[in-house]
Amino acid sequence: MFELLLCSLLTVFPDYLYRRYVQGRRIGREITLYTVWYELRWGITACLLLTVALITLIFYYHPSTKNVSAVFRTVTILPETTGRVAEVFVGINSKVEAGAPLFRLDSSQQEAAHETAQRQIDETIAETAVAQTELAGADGLIQQAQGAYQQALDELATRQELLRRRADVSVREVERLQITADGRKGALDAAIANKRTIETKLSTLLPARKASAEAALKQAQVELNKTVVRAGVAGTVQQFALRPGDIVNTMIRPAGILVPQEAGRVALIAGFGQIEAQVMKKGMIAEATCIGNPFAIIPMVVTEVQDVIAAGQLRPTDQLIDVQQMARPGTLTVFLEALYPGQLAGIPPGSSCIANAYTNNHDALAAPDISTSRWLFLHVVDAVAIVHAMILRMQALMLPVQTLVLGGH
């Protein structure tokens, strides 16, 4: 309607002035309802053609959409293990900080595993103390074996010397002493080997066993920590109605939803028509008005234009896809961020909005080799943006009326 009134001022109104004041025709006599089409046919025709051209020009180069929302992501409150709720720390709509505990599962099994791992460490420490005592005993056995061996060697040497001097010593007795010395030499070697075994146990086996027990303790601590579910981000807890005794399943029964504190307050996501794919560019200036904050026009900027359209996505299945099933055209997803910080703070996440994006031809107009016709056309494109801006402001004024009165709410 606004475009039609504007175009009529350029076509029908001058035609009427010419008929009235130049040709002397008067409304009600020469210009009546029966002759208005014949008398003003050129102006009406030009008005209709100019209106269609103006609407096409405005909506193509300055696209608008009502498919805008402050989309926000929620975080599912879900433990890593299935269990029975033992304690609940927060309630519905509670504000929580990142890392704050939300609820605790029954941890008797994890505590038992933790206690077992701790006892294994204590057992290893005790074995280390016993091995150190055994090492001291092994040193005593080695000294004892060395003394006995040395005594056997000395006695053997004495008997051999007497046998060499033809004394009253039998060969059998010397052989017996030799066997005794060899036996004591074996006992000394066994004592030394026993000491080496104890040293290896102290330096390798027991530290490895203790390290394994400590690893098991850490694993048990991790499993124990999993029984306390904490908030991953700061936000508000929603749909959280857990009570002690409830069973929480990691697959089919989440505990609730956590809405992040900054969710939906950073950007708006808009779906523009596919025909604007060649017009929408990163860095374009845009404006938006939302039902959650009426009468407010929020200046925004296009920060990202998705290079694919979701309606054409294909997932492999066991059936062939008929293209007719994807006949509904999708929209071009565009991300809009506030031009100035904090302007989306007053808009509730999930609000429905209306957005306009405006084409800017400043750089093209500043080019030295631009032709006159293109210069004039680009000036017209930039100038008609004010029409769309006025329409958006009229929509912002009419939003409460349309929602509360015409919408039946």
- Which tens digits make up the pLDDT trace of 66-87? 989 888 888 888 888 888 888 8
pLDDT of residue 320: 78
What secondary structure letter does DSSP report for 31?
Answer: B
Rg of the Cα atoms in the chain: 46
Residue 299 tokens read as 């200046």
Give the model's pLDDT for residue 335.
92
**224 contacts 154 by C-beta, under 8 angstroms:** no
Decide: residue 320, CB within 10 A, 0-12 exposed, 13-18 middle, 19+ buried.
exposed
* Cα gap 155→178, rounded to integer Å: 9
pTM, whole model, 2 decimals?
Answer: 0.66
Residues 6+ apart with CB under 8 A from 220: 110, 113, 114, 116, 117
Q: Measure the CA–CA gap between 149 and 327, rounded to whole angstroms.
A: 101
Q: Report helix, strand or coil for 347.
A: coil
What are the tens digits of pLDDT across the range 34-58?
A: 666 666 677 777 778 877 887 888 8
Q: How far apart are CA 263 and CA 232, in angstroms?
A: 14
Percent of the chain with pLDDT over 90: 5
The strand ranges marked E within 196-251 are: 228-230, 235-238, 247-248
The pLDDT of residue 380 is above 80: yes
Each residue of 275-328: pLDDT tens digit?
Answer: 888 888 898 999 999 888 888 899 999 999 988 888 777 777 777 777 777 667
Number of helices followed by number of strands (H, E) in the chain: 10, 14
Q: For residue 264, give the nearest of 28, 92, 69 by alpha carbon.
A: 69
pLDDT, mean over the chain: 81
In sequence order, what are the residues at sequence separation of 6 or more whose Cβ sits closer than 8 angstroms to the Cβ of residue 111? 224
Q: What pLDDT is recorded for position 299? A: 92
Which amino acid type is present at position 296? A
Whether pLDDT at 407 is above 70: no
pLDDT of residue 4: 63
DSSP secondary structure of 270-290: EEE-GGGGGT--TT-EEEEEE
Q: Give 174's pLDDT tier (boundaries 50, 70, 90).
A: low
